Structure 1
């Protein structure tokens, strides 16, 4: 499932949409005439914003260094290959001839010019919406265990019987939650539209944005206006949304998405995998899919790709964290719904085999029936020196207690040395430093900017999104910078440097689950927010030639 989140709805007291929701939420605008200032690139010391110091790093530490090529794979829902700020930075398979219908490089994938799509077939048909994993498990286990008592089940099958009882309850709870949410969201859109129109008339403005809400004309003599405008301003700022029009659009899209989940993702009779025609249970099968890395809905992956490496050399749109020789490989494996373990495993292996040094994984779920295949793929990436960066999830959960897949620790063997998990942080070093939706726990390595992140959207547009989905590619971009300017660094080195250079913050913040005030440093294993400047400093120190060398010391 993709990990977009709707933090504003939480702030308004509305039940959160499930993490599987595609939140095509906020304003997508035409390309601005020039680069915009992105808070994630600012410096905590110089700018008093909890960014990662990107601009300062390029200006002070990297200006005299020569970059080397790096490929970052984005395993996601799709990437808009025509976007004006991405088309120059897309990976191009050097061994493949465009559109000739031949597997020129003999890698097993025909015409994979920019990557591969594991959610389609050779006819060009693609899966857009898929089932939740809970739905798939109910479909598979219900015929085996429904109506049976535990004592009537063979001892060897009782663990699976217990799983069915648990999943059946969670499936029913999801259906109930989605129906309740639909009842909440539908009238909320109308209420917000009424408030929006009234405020537009009161203030004679075209948009009720943060600027007008901050000034609050006439509020000093109108207590109700003061209370409403203050609340709206605080909510918009916390959620990283520009105006009430964006909120209304988000709520309306939430209604559409919720209906879709009830009709498809939670519908046991829905069989989207029939499009592909593969054996879902055969994790060794990888000969399926097509080269369409955009797919039917590329919003999520396009936003993620822009955060990593949107073109820094042009004069429009935004700057990604990484550049100038970093390239994005698109690997489509994440539908609107829950991803299949088989597709995730194949996507990781494809990325590794075709030259990726870093893989971004802005997706996740809480059941993994074919976990062994994913664990093996992660181990394979580890043997090839590839770093995997995973979004922690958006359900305000402690993932030390509830596993979020792909898991950072395998079922057997030593912990992965090439896997790093990312929580979402905000722009201010105060109670909002932790995104209220972010998962947390010692299995989270670091936090990174994930609230109100401005990036690329399909159709050469741009807009804000929030989620650990945005935090992970921020770190993937950092890793790409480190690998590009310090190519001798291994995946283990990259993970260590990112963790060691994270800046601890002893700020009191609400724990996302309990809302009790805690020290920010307790919410992850490092207690810090990533910082590119400190990471490059550390990489410089750790890769500097040793004075005298081994021979000189003898």
Structure 2
């Protein structure tokens, strides 16, 4: 899930007196295509993609690499994507027959695991709600003094933690919805009195507030209009209302369950494989389309944007609703991608709780055994994932949570901005000295959106496909490398960061070295990676003689 723009957070906690925020780098705008530019020559902390193509890869041949975008859906008709989509050549489109006998009918560009021939899931709960509903019949009336077995006692403690977390999230969402709705109401009244639909900061400065609330709204809006025009501000306000309304109605609604009527699978059976439909776009393809464009939007068509990789086939797998993804669907998506030839899996999703970690672990093991590289977004909670759970992850666990191994072909990605200063790490990005491998551009990334449109988004969801694109870029030129070799090249070619960067830890701001909050201590870099790849390849040739 994308992080909300900081303005929405401000609006969500709006109260009297007004709470103000200092402007940060995330309020400004970078140059176009910044994620692919070079720090030294262009002045922004991109990954030097353009330099790599110009100075290293020009005139060199490559082989196509299949990248599976496991996400919320992709607009397969997008002008910048339709020519780079994976096509299942063994399947005859639209004949209603499973021609390749892989268990999925008419899977031309991929598969949708959150739908059926009857319907598609749009919204779903957060995992905390599903777990509460699972445990509530047994523990809702229990007390600390209730006699339990050791296993039941542990489960009861988990239930209490879930309920506490849920209540805090629900209260925050309800307050956010109430306050954003209130601000829009008063703002609309102010606009009507002004008689303007696109006022400036000066217009608000000249406005005579009718009451204290109007005065506070005006005081808040005036500095915001120095960073963006009013229409963009107003759209963000409406997005905020929609965001919190969705949380209250769906994500955090214990009575909402879309699964039975929309998918019709046996949800209790995590090993069930064959369900869903071939509608890989679904009802809301914004997130997945944006991610796909970052990986491999056509670089040579003079349209829209430039993806990182120039020789990819993007496999569309619809897995993530507006809400938390389900472990069964994630596991099946990984297996589908691997079994149908994907070499890189981009997973720009995550959650705080797991329903069935075992089934996901088994799918990840399957991917690793087939030489596939998994690239996962670290999450947008601004937390240390060494201390806070984030699923899925590279750790294989037994039923008690004890780690039983690690997925070596896994890259965990945090988000960075374009300025080489103390705000380099995005304020929303998760981090972890042992849990986050690298950082990559994830702030104000312009990419593809449904309807052949384009938009800037923030998130580790945007940083992960930068790395997936980089991996594809390397692998397409060195197809004999293993997944672990590709990972090692990416990790060992980062641009190290000397200065300290700001993070939030337990509510307090502090400055740390990037090496303290990531394994590699740097930002991925395509130019360095291609140089190291060629050196690795040359060394291997010498040794083979």
Please indicate the TM-score interval, normalised by the length of the shorter structure.
0.7 to 0.9
Distance 2:229 2:538 in 1: 48
Instruction: Tell whether 2:335 aligns with 1:343.
Output: no
Alignment CA distance shift 1:152-1:465 (3 Å): same
The match for 2:23 is none
Q: Secondary structure at the match of 2:404?
A: coil
Residue 421 in 1 paired to residue 407 in 2?
no
The DSSP-based 3-state class of the residue aligned with 1:512 is strand
Change (3 A) 1:397 1:487: same
The CA deviation at 1:206 is 6.4
| Aligned residue number for residue 224 of structure 1 | none
- Superposed, 1:378-389 pairs within 5 Å as 378-389=364-375
Q: Number of aligned pairs?
A: 506
Q: In 2, distance between residues paired with 1:198 and 1:70?
A: 57
For 2:396, what is the secondary structure of its paired residue? Answer: coil
Deviations 1:200-248 (A, max 9, x none): 98xxx96869xx9xxxxxxxxxxxxxx98995478x4xxxxx6442232
- 1:532 paired residue among 504, 514, 526: 526
Structure 1: how far apart are the matches of 2:348 and 2:193? 39
Match of 1:259 in 2: 245
Equivalent in the alignment of 1:172: 167
Residues 329-338 or 179-188, more deviating: 179-188
Distance in 1 between residues matched to 2:540 and 2:140, nearest whole Å: 67
Change (3 A) 1:387 1:206: same
Q: 2:287 aligns with which of 300, 308, 323?
A: 300
Counterparts of 1:200 and 1:340, CA distance in 2: 48
Structure 2 unmatched ranges of 5 or more: 15-25, 203-218, 398-402
Compute the TM-score of the two structures, normalised by the length of structure 1.
0.86
C-alpha change, 1:15 and 1:494, in structure 2 (3 Å) is farther
* Cα distance in 2 between the residues matched to 1:361 and 1:494: 17
Measured in 2, the distance between the counterparts of 1:500 and 1:81 equals 35
Structure 2 SS opposite 1:515: strand
- Quote the Cα distance in structure 1 between the aligned partners of 2:159 and 2:385: 22
Distance (whole Å) between structure 1 residues aligned to residue 280 and residue 411 of structure 2: 25
Aligned partner (choices 148, 156, 176) of residue 153 of structure 1: 148
CA deviations over 1:98-142 (Å, ceiling 9, x no partner): 00000001111000000000000123x100000111111111111
Match of 2:392 among 390, 393, 406: 406
Query: Secondary structure of the residue that 2:529 maps to in structure 1?
Result: helix
Verify the 8 A CA contact 1:390 1:419 in the aligned structure 2.
yes
Q: How does 1:356-367 map to 2 (within 5 A)?
A: 356-367=342-353
1:352 to 305, 325, 338: 338
Retained in 1: the 8 A contact 2:11–2:179? no
Q: Secondary structure at the match of 1:330?
A: strand
Q: 1:249 aligns with which of 235, 239, 245?
A: 235
SS at 2:317's partner residue? strand
Contact 1:9 1:15 in 2 (8 A): no
SS of equivalent residue, structure 1 residue 417 = coil
Task: State whether residues 504 and 528 of structure 1, in contact with CA within 8 Å, keep that contact through their aligned partners in structure 2.
Answer: yes
Q: How far off is 1:356 after superposition? A: 0.3
Shift in CA distance, 538/196, structure 1 to aligned 2, threshold 3 Å? farther
CA distances 1:499-552 after superposition (whole Å, capped 9, x unpaired): 11111112232213332222333221111111111111111110115575455x
Let me know the Cα RMSD of the aligned residues: 2.7
1:268 to 233, 237, 254: 254
Aligned to 1:6: 4
Asked if the contact 1:435–1:512 (Cα under 8 Å) also holds between the matched residues in 2, the reply is: no
Q: TM-score, normalised on structure 2?
A: 0.87
Whole-angstrom CA distance in 1 between matches of 2:83 and 2:291: 16
C-alpha separation in 1, matches of 2:313 and 2:190:
45
Post-superposition CA distance 1:45-78 (Å, at most 9, x none):
1111000111111000001311101000000000
